[in-house]
Structures are given as structure tokens and as C-alpha cells.
Amino acid sequence: MGSFRLQHRGGSVSLSVLLVSVVLLLNSPVGLCGCYKRIFSFGDSIIDTGNFVHMCGNNPNKYKEPPYGMTFFRRPNGRISDGRVLVDFYAQALQLPLVPPNLPEKDSGDFPNGANFAVLAATALPPEYYGRWNHTVPVPFCLGVQIGWFKEMLQRIAPGDDAKRQLLSESLIVLGEIGGNDYNFWFGGRRPREQAYQFIPDVVGCIGSFAQELIGLGAKAIMIPNNFPIGCVPGYLSAFRSGNPGDYDELPCLRWFNDFSARHNQALRGEVERLRAANPGAKVIYADYYGAAMEFVRDPRRFGIGDPLVACCGGDGPYHTGAECDSRAKVWGDPGGFASWDGVHMTEKAYDVIARGVLDGPFADPPLLRSC
């Protein structure tokens, strides 16, 4: 938007014109004000927009087939959902193009509007970290690997420290959600769940360390989301189904697993506060995905959702998790009436609800659209 001059050939600009211009500026979309010129995002399948599918090459993969992508894109598109994922909603709200996956153009892309480095099944900590517990993490594309890809790209498109700092100062970093799979693989392997508490400080410390590294490179705005209430995830509800009513809260979600997520989130919030104190020149935004998701778990009808604890795509059973979501799976209805897409990942509808809470508040500190 052009600026107004108080003096011109015909004399002074009227007060009414000046007031109108101020009102228009304050109410214009953030992207039009040049808030962020690009988004760089890291994480796992929650925001992967095509990196994992690209890695699969020509090999068959269920994510390349319907019903994935059926809602918004009308075709499979590399997202692990029926439609858009969280980073898509952030880009659209900031008046930016959808953020492309990094890997298809890893060595050649200019990425003028940013790039997405997230990969399905990624962890925060590297797989070798878990070797001391004789525990195997099957995917090597942890946060450190993604940051490595990012730095390679940065060196190619913005050589020199000044160029890097300028580019990053105009960008939004979305660092996660990441860390959920560090726990998912442990719980999924039926390992002693109480032992997972010992991973929290290292998972959180890993996220904080990479956030600090990005700030050191020149990043001025980093959003760090927390983890979801995994006790309300259909896959968990099915895998850890219990005959003890005390294992469930009133919703009914699995009480222990939600408490575990809350413990992780409490530690992450403390790490965000530490980063803020150490970097007063940077904006470190804490996104409360847990709280935003609990909105539609507690009051699904408010958002047009039926039962928030069952999957839209899958099979039979109380949580619709009796089969994988693939081209042969049962789609139980319009995904817009569900929170869970495949028993693990969410629908576009659920991501939309969460994104609104992050963009406008109250589920981000500060709300993303007020972070400029």
C-alpha cells in the first residue's frame, strides 16, 4: 500500500482522507502489509505437503491414491489428509502461495515464498538417540536433517551472512509440531510408557536448540507449536482400549496420554519463555495446538463435527480404525463432519479450526496475525 504525503501541489491532504487511509491500513490483510514474505516450515506428517511422497518415487503408496486430497485439491497431493493442512491455512491467511515441499526442487528451487521441510514420521531427536534403549525409530529425517536441508538451501539462494539475515528477517519460521513421533513410536512399540517421561527434556531441548540456531542465522519470527491431546486420537483410543472406566476422562479420552501430552507442552512452554528471554529481538510465538484441538473435542457440534473420536476414513470398529485409510477403505461420510481423517491425522476441517485459533487467538501467544 502506498504512503500518503501531507503536502502536494494542491495543498494539504484533508484530515478525512488521512483517517480513511489509516483505517484501511489497520484493517488490510496482513500479507498485503508485507508482514512476512515467506514461510519456512519444519515438522512431520501434520504439515508435510509432499516431501514423503516425493521420496517414494515411482513406488506405489497409499498417499498417492484417493481418498487422500478429496476435499480441497480434489486429488492426492502429498498431504496426509483429505485436504489442506495447517501450514496451508497459515499461508493463505498471510496472503502467500501455498508452501511447496523442499525435496522436489532441493537443488534448484529459488523458493521465493518459502519452503516446507516437514516429512511424514519425522522425529525431533535423531534415531541413534534411542539406541541406548534398544529402541528403533524407522525414519531418519529428524529435525536436525531438515535443518541441514534448510541451511543447504539458504547457502544456495542467499549466499553471505548479510543476505541470509535479510531473507530470514522477512520470513516466518514454523518449527513443528515436532516431537510427537518421538513418543508415538515408543508407545506404538508397547514400550513401558512411564519411561517416555525421560525423553521430554531432550525432545524439548532439541527443539529449543534448533530454534536458537535459526535465530542465530537471522530469524526474527519463529512459531513453536505444542503437541496434540493424543489421548483423544482414534488410533490411541483403539490401541490402548481399556475396560477400566478410570482410564478415561469425561469426553471420553484416555486420561494418561493426555496428561503426558500436557507434561510435554508444559516443558515446551518453559523453553519458549527461555528463548524469549535470551533473544529479546526475536518474536517467539507459542502455538497451543492442544488447546485448539480440545475445542472441537469438547464441543464438536459448534464446528459442525459429529463424533470427534472416530476416523472418517478407515474400517469398522468403535473408532473406525479396523482398516487402514487407502483406496479400498471405507469413507464414513463428508470429511467436513469429522475431526479425524485416518485415525491418526486430522481432517481439513479440524486443521481449519486449529489454524483459526492460532491466527486470531486465543491459541497462540501472540496470535499469529498480530505478530507483525
Residues 6+ apart with CB under 8 A from 129: 202
Options 48, 81, 264, 345, the catalytic residue? 345
Cell numbers that stand for 75 in this block: 486429488
Options 45, 171, 238, 261, the catalytic residue? 45
Residues 6+ apart with CB under 8 A from 298: 251
Q: How far apart are CA 365 and CA 358, in angstroms?
A: 8
Decide if 351 contacts 295 (C-beta within 8 A): no
Options 171, 342, 352, 371, the catalytic residue? 342
Length of the chain: 372
How many Cβ atoms sit within 10 Å of the Cβ of residue 243?
Answer: 5
Indicate the burial class of 14 (C-beta count within 10 angstroms; 0-12, 13-18, 19 or more): exposed
Is 345 one of the catalytic residues? Answer: yes
Cα within 13 Å of Cα(340), Cβ side: 26
Is 264 one of the catalytic residues? Answer: no
- 352: helix, coil or strand? helix
Ramachandran bin of 122, using left for φ above 0, alpha for ψ from -120 to 50, beta for the remaining angles: beta
Q: How far apart are CA 55 and CA 240, in angstroms?
A: 32
Helices (H) and strands (E) in the chain, counts: 11, 10
* Catalytic residue annotation: 45, 342, 345
